[in-house]
Amino acid sequence: MKTNSVLQRQEDIDDIIETDAKRIRDWESATYSGLMLAFGSLKDKFSMVERHHILNVKPREIDVIIISDADFSEIDNPIAHFFRKRNIIELKNPTEALNIDIFCNVCSYALQYKANGRTVDEIKLDEITLTIFRASKPAALFENLQKCGYNIVNKYSGIYYIFGVVDIPIQVVVGMELLGDEFLALRVLKRNALKEDLQNFILFSDSRTEQSEKEMVDAVLQISISENREVFDELIKEDERMCQAMRDLMKPEFDKTRKEREEEMAMEMLRGNEPISKIEKYTKVATGRITEIAKSIGVKPVLG
């Protein structure tokens, strides 16, 4: 027989699953949020972070541009260490291909960005870097580039520098290969993420206090849960801390979902001519709100 504690945990799991199913999966937003979390306090060095920068020749958008006057050569963050003044980041979700043609197309975005200055050479070529993020390693692309004579250097775990294609520094970041605590939010986006990483991310998430960080954590968490639901279920069943942390993190969504269910129940009871007092008792919906629902569905509420 299941104890009340186990039953409560199962209800929490069901709420998380139901909430997750209602939300649109936004892998790009989750990856962007993971990158910003990975940069941590480095964000203070960025003078501008722009998403969906529109190139003015055709409806093209660059996923993210980070502009900064900081010197990143002494920075120990492996992704940001590569940065210069103008840093273009292209985010490729797990279902998107990254073959030689797509790679060249992304390179053309960087060159087009350089050509889009208000005056000639306003954007200097040596100010630009290009980062392509992908969850898994694009092995076929690397093989193709090497056959063409281009040099690929695995500078850090999960980070590959590509030389010679264009006169702009290029790095490919492979999310599933990244190491270090700063990249935890990026590693948990992949399917079959490590249980330890998921556990640590929940605890990390629960400790965030700034609203902007909470929103980024939420974006990452939605994708991570959808990709690793079974492991999240195990963590919640096994560890009361995980269960409480998940309830705290998802509380706004839980509250919204439960309120919707309660009002739907009140609506059905109104249609069944149940008295207001009984509806209020069983649904926890206030009398005033019950009256509003009755009016909205054209039903005269039964007093008593």
108 or 11, which is more confident? 108
**% residues pLDDT > 90 (the chain):** 36
pLDDT at 59: 46
Same domain, 130 and 12: yes
Better-scored residue on pLDDT, 67 or 263: 67
pLDDT, residue 30, reads 87
Examine residue 245 and state whether it is found in any structural domain, yes or no: no
For residues 108-129, give the mean pLDDT: 93
Tens of pLDDT, residue by residue over 255-271, are 556 677 788 888 888 88
Where among 192, 208, 238 does a domain terminate? Answer: 238
Q: Is residue 157 part of a domain?
A: yes
- 29-43 confidence digits (pLDDT tens): 888 889 889 988 787
Split into its structural domains, the chain has a count of 2
Same domain, 57 and 165: yes
Write down the mean pLDDT value for the chain: 83
**How do residues 168-178 score in pLDDT, each as one tens digit?**
999 999 998 99
Mean pLDDT throughout 83-96? 91
Please report whether residue 243 resides in a domain.
no
Q: Highest mean pLDDT range out of 88-97, 154-163, 251-260?
A: 154-163
Indicate whether 262 belongs to any domain. yes
Q: Final residue of a domain: which of 214, 238, 262? A: 238
47 in the same domain as 117: yes
304 within some domain: no
Q: Give the rounded distance of the alpha carbon of 4 from its chain centre.
A: 34
pLDDT at 248: 63
Distant-in-sequence, close-in-space partners of 197: CB < 8 Å, separation ≥ 6: 184, 187, 188
* Percentage of residues in the chain having pLDDT higher than 70: 82
Token pair listed for 55:
């190139």
- Picking from 150-154, 235-239, 241-245, which range would have the lowest pLDDT averaged per residue? 241-245
Three state DSSP letters for 69-125: CCCCCCCCCCCHHHCCCEEEEEEECCCCCCCHHHHHHHHHHHHHHHHCCCCCCCCCH
Residues 131 and 263 in one domain: no
Structure confidence at residue 42 (pLDDT): 81
pLDDT for the residue 173: 96
The answer to whether the beta carbons of residues 124 and 104 sit under 8 Å apart is no
Position 12 scores a pLDDT of 55
Mean pLDDT of 217-241: 82
Whether residue 121 is found in the same domain as residue 204 = yes
130 and 19 in a single domain? The answer is: yes
The pLDDT confidence band at residue 190, using thresholds 50, 70 and 90, is confident
Q: 13 lies in which domain range? A: 4-238
Structure tokens, 40: 């941590």
Asked, for residue 46, whether it belongs to a domain, the answer is yes
Q: Are residues 210 and 283 in the same domain?
A: no
Per-residue confidence (pLDDT) for residue 259, from 0 to 100: 76
Structural domain contains residue 301: no
Q: How far apart are CA 101 and CA 140, in angstroms?
A: 12
Pair (216, 271) in one structural domain: no
Is the pLDDT assigned to residue 153 strictly greater than 60?
yes
Question: What pLDDT shows up at residue 165?
Answer: 94
Residues 157 and 16 in one domain: yes
The reply to whether 303 falls in a domain is: no
Q: Are residues 195 and 268 in the same domain?
A: no
Give me the pLDDT at residue 57, please.
46
Query: Do residues 274 and 202 both lie within one domain?
Result: no
Residue 217 or residue 86, greater confidence: 86
Reference 45, options 75, 23, 20; nearest CA is 75
Domain match, 136 and 272 both: no
